[in-house]
């Protein structure tokens, strides 16, 4: 299957490290790549290390003064005073911050180029998906918005319709902001409700700027939503919109922080439901975008129990390799997990669930159900802009 898919990886990506005690521990990337290798997935696709994004690429999304500020604190972290969101509790400055953030962005941009040029159908950068970074500020553990940069590069290469589906538990606010007034980019974010979670945006009424009405889509899920509800929301919104929009490329963000064990959020999704959504994204790319699929990582703070398994199954899907979820995780990987973290590794690739989504008959909405209310609010807001009926 060589040439079909590629995985972006460079050991230096683990240098994206905000320091001890920060939730975004880079061991999550290292343990993911180890698990990918333990399953031999690195033999089933091409592993590629791309160069860092240069300034002209970063400026497709980010302001020059912000990039200069990142460079400044990267060279001397003591200069970070909170301006541009740098030196905050969420985004503490660290030496080399610019270089490694640009390296992450470079992976997503190169992955987008490979997919657009047809060198591969699918490309994965699980170190990316840093969806909170704004044009002029760091935010929510994100410095440069690799997702937005990849999309901007696709536009520069001539793409006319790009769909971005963000399944992280947090709203994909930075990507939405970057393309708020651009009808060529459809952003769809499913996330925990802004009332209960950072970044407190992503209301269904946020649906795109002037000239791009309906190009931003937000499903605000009630805290506590589990597998059935999460899958129902995905299936009630994403396939319909992609069918109407007909993207040339599908970019997806797979933050693993929807998981029930995630310490920073309050959804109750299993690894098994995450796999269903990953598989769906893959199928939707084939159905609507001639297979052109760029899959990114994102959040995920259960760094041992959840993230490596979630993104390894994502890599397997992109590589076209069936991993048995019931199978045991490889013993050498478990030993490595213990050696690095003194925590015991999960023993299987499943959480033991077999999630299904509730089907949606024409009149199947329950007006008293908070999840159905959330879905309907979104569909009423944006479906008419795409020629779709909110109730069908
Ligand atoms: Zn997140």
Q: What is the pLDDT of residues 133-192, one digit of tens each?
A: 999 999 999 999 999 999 999 999 999 999 999 999 999 999 999 999 999 999 999 999
Q: How far is the CA of 19 from the centre of ligand 1 (A)?
A: 18
Cα separation, 148 vs 95, whole angstroms: 24
Q: What residues are neighbours of ligand 1 (ion), with CB under 5 Å?
A: 168, 170, 255, 257, 299
pLDDT score for 357? 76
Cα–ligand 1 centroid distance for 286 (angstroms): 26
- For residue 11, give the DSSP letter: G
DSSP assigned state of 137: B
Using left for φ > 0, alpha for ψ between -120 and 50, and beta otherwise, residue 158 falls in: left
Q: Tokens 């690739």 belong to which residue?
A: 349
Span from the CA of 255 to the centroid of ligand 1 (angstroms): 6
- The rounded Å distance from CA 169 to ligand 1 centre is 5
Ligand 1 centre from 300 Cα, in Å?
6
> DSSP states of 184-218 as a string?
TEEEEEEEE-TTTSTT----TT----TT-TT-EEE
Question: Residue 119 Cα, ligand 1 centroid: separation in angstroms?
Answer: 30
Q: Which residues contact 19 (CB under 8 A, 6 or more apart)?
A: 92, 94
Quote the ligand 1 centre to 56 CA distance (angstroms).
Answer: 28
The predicted pLDDT at position 2 comes to 38
CA of 299 to the centre of ligand 1 (A): 4
Say if residue 266 is exposed, middle or buried (CB neighbours under 10 Å; 0-12, 13-18, 19+).
Answer: middle
CA 99 – ligand 1 centroid, Å:
23
> Is residue 247 left, alpha or beta, with left meaning phi > 0 and alpha meaning psi from -120 to 50?
beta
Q: What angle do CA 338, 343, 349 make, to 5 degrees?
A: 85
Q: In what order do the strands lie in the sheet with 249-253?
A: 46-48, 5-8, 122-125, 293-296, 249-253, 162-166, 185-192, 216-221
Q: How many CA atoms lie within 13 A of 188 on its CB side?
A: 28
The Å distance, Cα 361 to ligand 1 centre, comes to: 32
Q: Which is it for strands 185-192 and 46-48: parallel, antiparallel or unpaired?
A: unpaired
* Residues 118 and 293: beta-carbon distance below 8 Å: no
> Which positions are annotated as active-site residues?
132
> How does DSSP classify residue 82?
S
The series of mean pLDDT values per 10 residues for the chain, 392 residues long, is: 80 98 98 98 98 98 98 98 98 98 99 98 98 98 99 98 98 98 98 98 98 98 97 96 98 98 98 98 98 98 98 98 95 98 97 82 76 95 96 74
- Evaluate if pTM is beyond 0.85: yes
Cβ atoms of residues 289 and 248 within 8 Å:
yes
Residue range 40-77, pLDDT digits in tens: 999 999 999 999 999 999 999 999 999 999 999 999 99
pLDDT at 201: 98
pLDDT for res 391: 82
Q: What is the 363 CA–ligand 1 centroid distance (Å)?
A: 33
Q: Give residue 386 CA to ligand 1 midpoint distance, Å.
A: 28
């Amino acid at each position: 299957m060589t040439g079909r898919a590629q995985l972006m990886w460079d050991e230096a990506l683990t240098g994206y490290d905000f320091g001890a005690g920060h939730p975004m521990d880079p061991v999550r990337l290292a343990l993911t790549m180890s698990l990918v290798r333990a399953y031999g997935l690195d033999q089933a696709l091409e592993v590629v290390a791309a160069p860092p994004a240069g300034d002209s690429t970063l400026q497709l999304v980010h302001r020059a003064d912000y990039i200069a500020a990142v460079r400044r604190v990267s060279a001397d972290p003591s200069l970070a005073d909170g301006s541009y969101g740098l030196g905050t509790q969420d985004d503490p400055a660290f030496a080399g911050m610019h270089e490694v953030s640009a390296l992450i962005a470079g992976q997503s941009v190169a992955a987008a180029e490979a997919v657009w040029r047809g060198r591969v159908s699918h490309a994965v950068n699980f170190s990316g998906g840093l969806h909170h970074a704004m044009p002029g500020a760091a935010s929510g553990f994100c410095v440069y918005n690799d997702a937005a940069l990849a999309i901007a590069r696709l536009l520069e290469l001539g793409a006319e319709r790009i769909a971005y589906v963000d399944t992280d538990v947090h709203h994909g606010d930075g990507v939405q902001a970057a393309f708020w007034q651009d009808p060529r980019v459809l952003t769809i974010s499913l996330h925990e409700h802004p009332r209960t979670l950072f970044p407190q945006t992503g209301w269904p009424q946020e649906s795109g700027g002037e000239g791009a009405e309906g190009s931003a889509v937000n499903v605000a899920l009630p805290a506590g939503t589990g597998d059935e509800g999460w899958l129902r929301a995905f299936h009630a919104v994403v396939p319909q919109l992609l069918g109407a929009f007909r993207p040339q490329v599908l970019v997806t963000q797979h933050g693993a922080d929807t998981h029930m064990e995630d310490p920073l959020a309050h959804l109750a999704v299993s690894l098994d439901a995450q796999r269903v959504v990953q598989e769906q994204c893959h199928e939707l790319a084939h159905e609507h975008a001639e297979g052109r699929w760029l899959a990114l990582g994102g959040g995920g703070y259960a760094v041992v129990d959840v993230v490596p398994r979630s993104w390894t199954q994502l890599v397997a899907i992109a590589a076209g390799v069936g991993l048995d979820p019931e199978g045991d995780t490889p013993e050498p990987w478990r030993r490595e997990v213990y050696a690095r973290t003194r925590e015991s590794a999960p023993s299987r690739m499943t959480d033991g669930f077999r999630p299904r989504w509730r089907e949606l008959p024409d009149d199947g909405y329950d007006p008293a159900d908070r999840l159905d209310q959330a879905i309907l609010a979104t569909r009423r807001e944006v479906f008419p802009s795409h020629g779709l009926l909110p109730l069908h």
